[in-house]
Amino acid sequence: MNKTVLIVEDSATQAIKTKFILESKGYKVFLAVDGSDGVSKAKELKPDLIVLDVYLPKLSGFEICKLLKSNLESRSIPIIMFSNENKLKNMVTAYEMGADYYVVKGEEGERVLTLLIETVFTRISRRMLQTS
């Protein structure tokens, strides 16, 4: 079964680019265009992983992260914050809200994001094998 990734990103260009890259790796990718859409889709789809932009209309990525990590049904979903901002303040806030990782956008950011997603899914698979 394909792993599912929810991308919450208000830039159509960035969302489509990231979706294309992840689909080429075999992931099933869903898109949300703003914060409230992201929360709704996360609850509905229960994806295996969520990629969140920091700055979104309606609810910020930080707010979404805090909401999802405080909910029993979604708290175990890994969240990667994916932002143009390379500020320590934003990174600290992301981790305080419960984010698992913070990646800065850009050409190398896309590579890091893809490698990180693969690593996260590999770790999850290993844990599942160890507990079964």
- Encode 68-105 in three state secondary structure: HHCCCCCCCCCEEEEECCCCHHHHHHHHHHCCCEEEEC
**What is the model's pLDDT at position 106?**
83
Question: For residue 106, which phi and psi values (nearest 5 degrees)?
Answer: 130, 175
Instruction: Please say if the pLDDT value at position 124 is more than 90.
Output: no
Q: Domain map of the chain by residue range?
A: 4-131
**pTM value surpassing 0.85:** yes
Tell me: the pLDDT tens digits for 42-92?
A: 999 999 999 999 999 999 999 999 999 999 999 999 999 999 999 999 999
CA distance to 56, 82, 83, per residue, from 95 (Å): 18, 13, 13
% pLDDT > 70, the chain: 98
CA triple 36-44-100, angle to 5 deg: 70
% pLDDT > 90, the chain: 85
Distance CA 40, CA 104 (A): 25
Q: 4-131, superfamily in CATH?
A: Response regulator (3.40.50.2300)
**What is the model's pLDDT at position 1?**
61
Give the other-Cβ count within 10 Å of 105's Cβ: 21
Distance CA 81, CA 105 (A): 10
